[in-house]
Amino acid sequence: MANFKRKYPLTRLRRIRSNKSIRDLIAESKLSIDDLIQPIFVKESLKDKEEIKSLTGIFRHSEKSVIKEIEELMNLGIKAVAIFPVIDEDKKDEKGLESVNENNFLNNIIRIIKQKFPEMLVIADVALDPYTNHGHDGVLNSDGDVDNDETLKILEDQALKLAQAGTDIIAPSDMMDGRIGVIRKTLEQKDFKNTMILAYSAKYSSKFYGPFKDAVESAKFFGNKTKDTYQMAVANIDEALHEVALDINEGADIVMVKPAMPYLDVVKAVKETFQMPTFVYQVSGEYAMLKAAIEKNWLSEEVMFESLLSFKRAGADCILTYAAKEIAKNL
């Protein structure tokens, strides 16, 4: 742009903004249904769906209601869902061993979904926080910190069980060092060579996750603790690039930045540096604050679309968002 010679009045940039048709034709970034993934919460021992108060329009689903929900999403053209379990409290323990039960609630739900809707891509997290009674993503050592290498042993088994249940995309969200390599090696050895890995590579220790903790009912276990020793410091971007590089080298097929809107600089840097499929997660707090402002008429409903488009403009290839179903109805 340094030698750019365009000048007014020969150049009038308002000419190409003069009507919607021309604005649409020259749009540099576009949002389509193919860009959207819907997160879904499923709760064990639930007879029907129940609303999540902190996430307007989002529900915890039962085994029955989740099938109806996915059918509606498919009819809208959404091609992928991310499934998050809420398991019975009496199945949680110090090590989260219910995660490696091949017949646990999540694995059974995945089998049902894939049987009824084989063309729907199912994404499932690899992490222990839904299964531990302390709310951390791994096994704690005697100092109360997460033991990286002991946790890897369980995550490896959890990923394999998810693949065996029919999960299309394994998504390690735990932020343990080395987990992508361990999981990729196991999937290769057990003949799940086509099972993809979506790495939560740049997952920040953010304060935007509050409504998610409400949704999975983990807040009462986790309290005011932090995940600062394994999730990334919010001040850092170089560190994010190192995390992404490691995950790619260990076998990740897709990388992710989470949260999304406060980290658009990270999204841009990751995409430009690695030119890999790059997803973002518009997390619960981002969605909730926009919804709250819309409900109070402080902002118009169009801000949700605008926020998603900003992710595409920054370089994201796909977006996990609680607004996927809502946005898909208007695309």
- Region 179-199: mean pLDDT is 98
User: Does residue 26 form part of some domain?
Assistant: no
Q: How many domains in the chain?
A: 1
User: Does residue 1 form part of some domain?
Assistant: no
User: What does each C-alpha distance from 178 to 63, 85, 153, 168 come to in angstroms?
Assistant: 34, 24, 11, 21
Residue 218, pLDDT score: 75
User: pLDDT averaged over the chain?
Assistant: 96
62: domain range? Answer: 31-328
- Region 81-101: mean pLDDT is 96
Catalytic annotation present for 312 = no
User: Does residue 139 form part of some domain?
Assistant: yes
Q: Which of 49, 92, 161, 203 is catalytic?
A: 203
User: Does residue 53 form part of some domain?
Assistant: yes
Chain segment 143-167, per-residue pLDDT in tens: 999 999 999 999 999 999 999 999 9
User: Does residue 17 form part of some domain?
Assistant: no
User: Does residue 18 form part of some domain?
Assistant: no
pTM for the full predicted model: 0.96
User: Does residue 8 form part of some domain?
Assistant: no
Catalytic annotation present for 203 = yes
Residue 221, pLDDT score: 62
Q: Report the CATH number that the domain containing residue 208 is assigned in CATH.
A: 3.20.20.70
Residue 197, pLDDT score: 98
User: Does residue 171 form part of some domain?
Assistant: yes
- At 1, the pLDDT band (50, 70, 90 cuts) reads low
